[in-house]
Amino acid sequence: MIPTWLTLLCLFIAQVFPEAQPADLYVEVPENYGGNFPLYLTKLPLPPEETEGEIVLSGNPGVAAEGPFAVDPESGFLLVTRALDREEQAEYRLQVTLETEAGHVLWGAQPVLVRVKDENDQVPRFSQSVYTFQLSQGTRPGIPFLFLEALDEDEPGTANSDLRFYILNQAPAWPSPDMFQLEPRLGALALSPEGSTSLDRAAGGPYQLLVQVKDMGDQASGHQATATVHVSIVENTWVPLDPVHLAENLKVPYPHHFAQVHWSGGDVHYHLESQPPGPFDVDAEGKLYVTEELDREAQAEFLLQVQARNVRAEDYTEPLELRVVVTDENDNAPVCPLWDSPISVPELSPPGTEVTRLLAEDMDAPGSPNSHVVYQLLSPEPEEGAEGRAFELDFTSGSVTLGDAPLRAGQNILLRVMAADRGGAEGSLSSTCEVAVTITDINDHAPEFATSQIEPVSLPEDAQPGTLVATLMATDADLEPAFRLMDFAIEAGDVEGTFGLDWEPNSSHVQLRLLKNLSYEAASSYELVVVVRNMAELVGPGSGPGATATVTVLVERLVLPPKLDQESYEASVPVNTPAGSLLLTIQPSDPISSPVRFSLVNDSEGWLCIKEVSGEVHTARPLQGAQPGDMYTVLVEAQYEDEPTLSTSASLVIHFLKAPSARAPALNPVPTRHLCTPRQDHGVVISGPSEDPDLADGHGPYSFALGPNPTVQRDWHLQALNGSHAYLTLALHWVEPREHVVPVVVSHNARMWQLQLRVVVCRCNVEGQCMRKVGRMKGMPTKLSAVGILVGTLMAIGIFLILIFTHLTLARKKDLDQPVDSVPLKAAV
């Protein structure tokens, strides 16, 4: 079941929108129809017969139809009443309606398009019956010089109006019957290749061509028409042109005519091209124009190409080339080159060194006076009183060179040079060139010490390594920091490397320091030669005398005061010790040191004396006033013989003992004994007194001790055997062979004696015995007696020889004095 709303929508649409418009009817009617009329064309799609109304045929809407068309009301056919001419009207637009008497449209309108189908009933016609054309020699073959025009009024685009053109005849037919060619479709008349070649050799003609135009295309049938073409041959005037010179900045009205070309053929159109593009033009007569001012500096030359063309812009012949040269005018001043940075010139560069070359550019014509640039140095001016200039300038080449005046490193100089064209003549244009020049530093200064001779420096012998000896300062006159870097070295005077140098890489100060311990005995002074050099390679002369500095170092000898073998001394002596008695010997601890001199200080009683050289302390006088048990203290002073100011002292304490009894003990005499070295198992026996009442009284034995001399105690060894004897041997493996006096102190209770034991130390033989010097044997001749015996023997031999020779001489003389006949004859053998 259909919804109610859908039914209502359909009724509404049917009322609002009328019946759809019928499609156009298309009908063709043959042109010039020769049959019976009326000619029924097509049945119209009229409504059913029940519909009452009048059929109305009209042309444009609302206008009644007046023409050869009608509608048969009974059959509803559209008909034509007479023959139609397409050339008169090619189509008809009609419309058919069904209307009431009141003019209300019941049906329609129905559009009807009636086209008249073309019939080849028109003959083509040339636009001219006679064509006349002037043809120039040199025309290219195949390039149309004349376009034939013909009209066919048949329907365009059909075979009826498809035209073809042909050459029917050429008169004269010389030098070739095919001098021309005609393009069939376009009617373009051109020279054939043969004709072009013939005309280039010799001008012929004139020529008369009979041409035909035919419709129906390439079909054999069709309508045709003819025309005559008169072609006259003229001499070729399309000749090359000489170059044209045009002045730049020319003040004339523009466009300005400067040349002309001419193509002697007809129907020519001129075309101009410029390389590079320029302000040039050509008119229909071939006149060439420049349309604005030229600038030679922008473009000095143009190449113009002028073409002679037909209406299709095809060139009749090769283009003509015309070279346009823009002549120069002095309208440009020289332009100076620009420098991005100053020009660097090393100092000490020799005169004549080229600094730069000014190449001012003049945009005017090269090689012309307008671009001939000369130069003049404006600044710097020579300094007052200077003999020469710092810079020289070649006025033609612009070469700037160094002059005779010296330049200093670090100078910044601004060169001002005038550049003028036209060789500087009147009317020239000029500009000023500025060139910044910097005089750069070179390493031409060797470093020098501020002082070449340093005052002597004293160092104590015990100075510690690292001690600063001296500080030297050097200077370098160069400006470049890299050229002021210095290297220091000790060139002479320090073979052992006792001293060293310390400096910072970029410092001009160098410190001379002690590296090793000093020794006065090894070297009492040093004369150090310190040299300074550039780290960079030096340019120019070598180092001067200031490149070295001499440092004299004096070593202060460290002399210690003499040292004694003991810090203090003590001795015990009886109060009745006689004057001259040896108490003890003071010795230095180092016996091989410098000679020492001894003296006593504070000997208020004058009891003692000391030998200055040996150090033996003796009693100077009897010890009057001394009491047993008392102590007497004096100072022993020792000083070097060559350095009296260096001295030392030690206390000597004398202990006074009770005087012994009147009868001194009798000591067994000890004869001189011999001991050999190197040490053997031998010694000397020392015995005490042979008779001692104290021993009988039970007061104890004797004691033996070596004297206080450290040398004695070092070289000898004393060993007690019993209460009355001791045994003396060598303490060292080797003791100097000579006679030694060994002091032995013998004490008993409060009494003390000193024995001076003489021991001869000799060399040992293989048997461990002393090698003693043998004396002269009894009866052995002496040297004098041996010489006397030898001389006497020689004299005796001499006497015997004299006697023998004398005897022989006398005998010979006697033989010579005898007669000849007295000489006995020798027997022949």
630 and 573 share one domain: yes
468 and 433 share one domain: no
Give the pLDDT of residue 303.
96
568 and 629 share one domain: yes
pLDDT at 825 over 80: no
How many Å apart are CA 511 and CA 532, to the nearest integer? 13
Q: Which residues of 322-357 are buried (b: 16+ CB within 10 A; e: fewer)?
A: bebebebbbebbbebeeeeeeeebebebeeeeebbe
What is the β-pairing status of strands 453-460 and 548-556? parallel
681 and 724 share one domain: yes
How many Å apart are CA 303 and CA 241, to the nearest integer? 12
How many distinct structural domains can be found in the chain?
7
- Average pLDDT, rounded, for the chain: 84
Give the pLDDT of residue 726.
84
Give the pLDDT of residue 766.
72
Q: Specify the pTM.
A: 0.49
Residue 730 pLDDT class (50, 70, 90 cuts): confident
Mean pLDDT calculated for residue range 599-612 = 89
Give the pLDDT of residue 646.
81
Q: Which helix or strand (DSSP H or E) is residue 125 part of?
A: strand 125-126
pLDDT at 816 over 50: yes
Domain boundary among 396, 419, 440: 440
User: What angle (nearest 5°) sits at the alpha carbon of residue 627, between those of residues 621 and 628?
Assistant: 110
> Token match 């012949």: residue?
317
Positive/negative CA dihedral, 763, 764, 769, 775: negative
pLDDT at 384 over 80: no
Decide: 316 and 139 in contact? Cβ < 8 Å.
yes
Residue 26 maps to a domain: yes
Residue 796 maps to a domain: no
Q: Which helix or strand (DSSP H or E) is residue 814 part of?
A: helix 783-817
Residue 797 maps to a domain: no
Sheet holding 244-247, edge to edge: 244-247, 320-327, 301-309, 269-275
Residue 580 maps to a domain: yes
Domain boundary among 73, 96, 117: 117
Number of helices (H), then strands (E), belonging to the chain: the values are 5, 54
Q: Which of 245, 252, 256, 259 lies closest to 327, judged by CA? A: 245
Distance of CA 382 to the CA centre of its chain: 38
Range(s) of the domain holding residue 526? 448-550
pLDDT at 199 over 60: yes
350 and 411 share one domain: yes
How many Å apart are CA 394 and CA 373, to the nearest integer? 12
Residue 22 pLDDT class (50, 70, 90 cuts): low
251 and 193 share one domain: no
Give the pLDDT of residue 8.
37
pLDDT at 445 over 60: yes
pLDDT tens digits, one per residue of 664-684: 454 455 566 777 877 766 677
User: What angle (nearest 5°) sits at the alpha carbon of residue 84, between those of residues 80 and 85?
Assistant: 170
Most confident of 76-85, 278-287, 452-461, 622-631: 278-287
Give the pLDDT of residue 282.
96
Decide: 378 and 418 in contact? Cβ < 8 Å.
yes
- Which of 61-70, 157-166, 245-254 is the least confident region? 61-70
568 and 537 share one domain: no
Residue 636 maps to a domain: yes
Residue 504 maps to a domain: yes
Domain boundary among 61, 83, 117: 117
CATH number at 63 reads 2.60.40.60
672 and 764 share one domain: yes
- Which of 189-193, 572-576, 686-690 is the least confident region? 686-690
151 and 186 share one domain: yes
689 and 722 share one domain: yes
> Token match 């009317």: residue?
427
Residue 805 maps to a domain: no
C-alpha distance from residue 527 to each of 298, 462, 507 (Å): 81, 19, 24
Q: In sequence order, what DSSP letters do the residues of 472-525 get, joined into one string?
A: EEEE----SGGGG-EEEEEEES-TT--EEEE--TT-SEEEEEE-S---TTT-SE
Residue 826 maps to a domain: no
Residues forming a β-bridge with 760: 674, 739
pLDDT at 747 over 90: no
pLDDT tens digits, one per residue of 700-711: 577 778 876 777
627 and 694 share one domain: no
Mean pLDDT calculated for residue range 154-164 = 91
389 and 466 share one domain: no
pLDDT tens digits, one per residue of 341-356: 898 899 888 899 999 9
Mean pLDDT calculated for residue range 754-778 = 73
